[in-house]
Structure 1
Amino acid sequence: MMKLTHLQHNEIDKPLWEKSILNAVNGNLYAFAWYLDIVSPNWEALVSNHYEIVIPLPIKKIVGTKMIIQPLFAQQLGIFSTNVKHLSNAEDFIKQVVDLYPYCNLQTNKLNLIESSAGNNFNVHYKINYELDLIATYSYIYNKYHTNTKRNLAKSQQYNLQLKINTIDAPTLVNFIRKNVGVKVPLLKDKDYNKMLQIINNAIKYKFGEIYEVYDEKNQLIAATFFIFSHRKAYYLFAASTPIGKEKRAMFFLIDQFIKRYAEKNVILDFEGSMIPGLARYYESFGAVAGKYQQIVANRLPFYLHWLKF
């Protein structure tokens, strides 16, 4: 078994890390150092020589104890490598991760699948993600839409909806999301909206993010989505609709417009989930295909900390 080196945050070579994630066979948005610095500021890492293998460790300190806890806005982390042969050793590397701290709740990526947790000191749970490959023609993709989605698109066309791209700034988008999603997702706190703002600002600044906006006939913003591009993927990262937007099927219109724009391009639309049946059906209704990834959980906390909720 290859022994990886554990690095504290200030020991990580960020330029070398970014190069590794950029060139990894399974690299993704969430594993970039700039992204981790936002969603998990004290992250640590396991690395091999020359960073051919890297594993980001999202660290959170609770009641004085360091724990590995999957951060918000980062669906899949795990093991990344520039050499695919190393990914066949996922189980060995995960053992090294869970041995570091008394609690681990880490979501890995689809090339880190472990067949069984039998005999290990961690449990494995499966999660589902939905992706839609846009390499085909728009007409081909549209024909794969479910009947209900086609019906909702037809309804949206009755309202003279207008699509705009990047005409609002990041604070306006975050405020729109907060106003229309915040009540339904109370776990999002001020610090989380601040992280959202940092992610959007960074992506817009360096031109790998797009804000899609839908306006009604009164020129009122009724739906908005932030897409961020990385590793041939467009991540459907943040989205919200007003009650009027839902009534007018504005999000169906928005996603369809995005698909129309990027059809026949080497891009995969990553819907980021979901384990919620209603959302899963929604993503499937555009022809998105389900794929598995895993959640690794290990709990060796002393009994007096078992009351903690993560």
Structure 2
Amino acid sequence: MIRKLKYADIDFQKYKSAIENSVQNNFYASKLILDHLCESWEILISGDYKFVMPIPLKKKFGVQFALMPLFCQQLGIFGKERNPIIEQEFFKYFIQNYKVYYYAFNYQNTFEENLKFKKNYFIQNIEYLDLKKNYFKGRKSAVKSSQHLTFKELALSESLVFIQTHFKGLDKKKDMDKFFTYLNFLQAKNLLKIYGAFKEEHLICLATVIKSGKKISLLGLINDDMYRKDNGASFIIDRILTDHISVYSFDYMGSTIRGIEVFFKSFGSELQEYAVIENSRKDLLKSLLRKG
């Protein structure tokens, strides 16, 4: 039986244990991250926290919707084992009891419905030399041609101007403000790492990553377009993999842009597709009018 628990009623010790001991474990589902990113959130549970499903909530048009916050890629159902029957029960309860604007399950959840999928690319921890054998030929060439660059770990304070000048992908000022707030939050929690590629004294490319547990996740890869021919992005990703992939897995955090997707894939990463429920504003308004 699936039950809903409001935030105030959640046993966070049991919730933490359920997430950390689940086969689907990811940091997006942690209380720390959800508290920061979500306007509000609650959970669905089965049994005594045997399976849990966090639900981010946000008010839009004066109505509360299930809506994934910015910078949160995958949530879904978490448990000590994969169980398609239980996952289907969660799915049915979810769509029957929530107005869903956008929700992303995790790549290990499966359902009977023909849902839309999004793509993520991931590298499990592996010896670097074994991974490099799987690099695309063009990526090997780009990495080789970028060895004139210098790799350096940077503080957030050293990186802000470069990020403000060159960051692309967030058009709204309020979303950019959220990004910088998130970076400061991650830094305060010792989860943020920033790496730069330098051509002589010029910073030409920068990567912001989240380092949590045994996983590194790419939050942003930012280029100075004047230096694209120097392959700074290839250089940075290769250096991060060189230094860390034998111990840490690497999560590219996905992309809907074909060129970026191919870039991620070219480092020998594996595709992970995750199901999403996505409704347009128009569809939601129609649904509300019908119910009204």
- Scaled by the length of structure 2, the TM-score of the pair is 0.88
C-alpha displacement of 1:178 = 3.2
Following superposition, the deviation at residue 86 of structure 1 comes to: 4.5
Q: In the alignment, what sits opposite 1:32?
A: 30
Identity in percent = 28
- Is the contact made by 1:134 and 1:268 (CA closer than 8 Å) also made in structure 2? yes
Question: Do the aligned partners of 1:105 and 1:295 also contact (CA within 8 Å) in 2?
Answer: yes
Matched, 1:224 2:206: yes
CA distance in 2, matches of 1:93, 1:113: 11
User: What is the identity, as a one-letter code, of the residue corresponding to 1:229?
Assistant: K
2: CA distance, partners of 1:61 / 1:44: 14
Which of 276, 286, 290 is the equivalent residue of 1:303? 286
Which residue of the partner structure matches residue 251 of structure 2? 270
> Structure 1: where are the runs of 5+ without partners?
118-123
Deviations 1:207-234 (A, max 9, x none): 33321112220x2222111221335321
Instruction: Report the Cα offset of residue 172 of structure 1.
Output: 4.8
Indicate yes or no: 2:248 matched with 1:250.
no
What's the secondary structure of 2:2's corresponding residue? coil
What displacement does 1:242 show? 0.9
1:195 aligns with 2:178: yes
Map 1:64-213; keep pairs closer than 5 Å: 64-81=62-79, 83-84=80-81, 86=83, 88-117=85-114, 124-136=115-127, 138-157=128-147, 160-165=148-153, 167-169=154-156, 172-182=158-168, 184-186=169-171, 188-190=172-174, 192-213=175-196
Change (3 A) 1:22 1:174: farther
Tell whether 2:31 aligns with 1:3: no
SS at match of 2:217: strand
| Consecutive unaligned residues in structure 2, runs of 5 or more | none
Q: How many residues align?
A: 287
C-alpha spacing 1:287/1:202, structure 2 compared with 1 (3 Å): same
Conserved 8 A contact 1:102-1:298: no
Give the one of 213, 229, 233 matched to 2:215. 233
Indicate conservation of the 8 Å contact 2:37/2:69, yes or no.
Answer: yes
**Residue 143 and residue 301 in structure 1: after superposition, are their counterparts in 2 closer, same or farther (change >3 A)?**
closer
Question: Is the alpha carbon distance of 1:35 and 1:195 closer, same or farther for their aligned partners in structure 2, counting shifts above 3 Å?
Answer: farther
Separation (CA, whole Å) in 1 of partners of 2:134 and 2:48: 44
Is contact 1:69–1:104 with CA below 8 Å preserved after alignment?
yes
Aligned CA distance change for structure 1 residues 78 and 189 (closer, same or farther; 3 Å)? farther
How far did 1:128 drift?
Answer: 1.4
Amino acid at match of 1:100: N
Please name the residue that 1:261 is paired with: 243
* Distance in 1 between residues matched to 2:256 and 2:158, nearest whole Å: 29
Give 1:127 deviation, angstroms: 1.5
TM-aligned CA deviation for residue 201 of structure 1:
3.2
State the TM-score, normalizing by the size of structure 1.
Answer: 0.83
- Give the structure 2 partner of residue 121 of structure 1: none
Structure-to-structure mapping, 1:6-25, within 5 angstroms = 6-25=4-23
Partners of 2:11 and 2:110 lie apart in 1 by: 27
Q: Measure, in 2, the Cα distance between the counterparts of 1:236 and 1:71.
A: 17
Aligned CA distance change for structure 1 residues 254 and 70 (closer, same or farther; 3 Å):
same
Inter-partner Cα distance in structure 2 for 1:229 and 1:115: 34
Describe the SS at the equivalent of 1:99: helix
